[in-house]
Amino acid sequence: MMIDYKKWTFLTNFLLFTFPFLFAQQETCKPFTIQGTAQWPNGTTIYLQYVVTPTQLVTDSCKVINHRFYFKGCITEPVMATCSIGPLMNAVVSNEYCDIFLSPASMQLTIPRNNIYNHSHLSGSVEDSIFSADRAIHTTFLEWRKPLQDSMLLYQKTIQKAVQENNATLVTKYESLVRQLQEKLYVSLQQEKNADSLLILQHPFSYFTLSWLASANNDMMPLSTVEQMYAAFPDALKKSKNGRVIAQMLDNEKKFAVGNSVPDFIVNDTKGNTYSFGCIPAAAICFIEVWGILLPALQEIRTLSKKYRFTIPRSFNNYWYFY
């Protein structure tokens, strides 16, 4: 009997390298199941999208039968997932989806016929209960801010019309009202941040807290608090996907901490002119807007002027803006 050397080498490599890797994957990958009920017609396709590993995204689907559906899979750690009626992108447009926090457990998911995002309910996942509490905080504040935002839009339209009609008195009146609304919105945002931070501090060792700190929400807490929380994390949390993200974030934050020298940068303004930090006059106030979608830059400048006690002139020629 002749031994095929190539086949033998392939089999040996498979046993030595591939099989142990698969076995290790089975050890780290933990199973989950979702038994759900949906107020949707039989035959409706429900999609579940989640991350198995830091580099592998899974999209699973099943049909509704007698108003019930079933998913099973495995995850290496509790993760955020999205459940949608039909493909995710279409569901986002029609608001027929919900975000949930999967855990390696047997879970029950209820999907209503309307307002899926706010009224879906997942039980059996400790992480999702924390996520649901956080979502309830956001829902409460969004509902509170909606009439203020509606009024803001109305006032801005009134100002535009008054400008067209050269009605300076009306412009001044409604600009004052807009500033009052901005102050109220700002206070609401601060209250929401405080409520969010309190919830996170109550659940310091959860995977939801990890994902919260690893997202843009981490600016709601002082850097020293985030550092203390990270230092207290068990090794399993530090080694998780979001744990590594937080470690990198803390390292980056230290580079740009208050008191450090501002690194040089090159940016273009709206007219295509190129600027660097070195070309800005020493007497100028450089206002760098890194991110902002809720309040205009002028409101932020007013806040800074109160804190650092400088006067905002009528002309902004000596103020440098980079977006």
Give yes or no for residue 309 having a pLDDT over 90: no
Domain spanning 27-124 has what CATH number? 2.60.40
Q: What is the mean pLDDT of residues 267-284?
A: 72
What pLDDT does 94 receive? 78
Among 100-104, 153-157, 277-281, the least confident range: 277-281
Give yes or no for residue 248 having a pLDDT over 60: yes
CB 198 within 8 A of CB 130: no
Q: What is the pLDDT of residues 176-204, one digit of tens each?
A: 999 999 899 989 988 988 898 889 889 88
Cα distance between residue 280 and residue 58, in whole Å: 49
Q: What is the mean pLDDT of residues 220-239?
A: 84
Q: What is the pLDDT of residues 157-174, one digit of tens each?
A: 999 999 999 999 999 999
Nearest to 65 by CA among 101, 30, 35, 95: 35
What pLDDT does 12 receive? 40
Q: What is the pLDDT of residues 3-55, one digit of tens each?
A: 443 443 433 443 343 333 343 344 478 899 999 999 899 999 999 998 876 67
* Angstrom distances, CA of residue 248 to CA of 129, 137, 214, 253: 28, 28, 10, 9
CATH 2.60.40, the chain: domain bounds: 27-124
Longest alpha-carbon distance in the chain: 102
Cα distance between residue 289 and residue 283, in whole Å: 19
Cα distance between residue 81 and residue 101, in whole Å: 6
Cα distance between residue 121 and residue 98, in whole Å: 9
0.75 exceeded by pTM: no
What pLDDT does 87 receive? 84
Give yes or no for residue 220 having a pLDDT over 90: no
What pLDDT does 289 receive? 58
Displacement of CA 187 from its chain's centroid (Å):
21
Q: What is the mean pLDDT of residues 281-306?
A: 59
117/256: higher pLDDT: 117
Mean pLDDT for the chain?
78
Could you give the angle at the alpha carbon of 179 between the alpha carbons of 178 and 182, nearest 5°? 90
Calculate what percentage of the chain has a pLDDT beyond 90.
Answer: 29
What pLDDT does 18 receive? 39
229/14: higher pLDDT: 229
What pLDDT does 305 receive? 66
Give yes or no for residue 77 having a pLDDT over 90: no
Tell me the pLDDT band of 292, cut-offs 50, 70 and 90.
Answer: very low
What pLDDT does 286 receive? 65
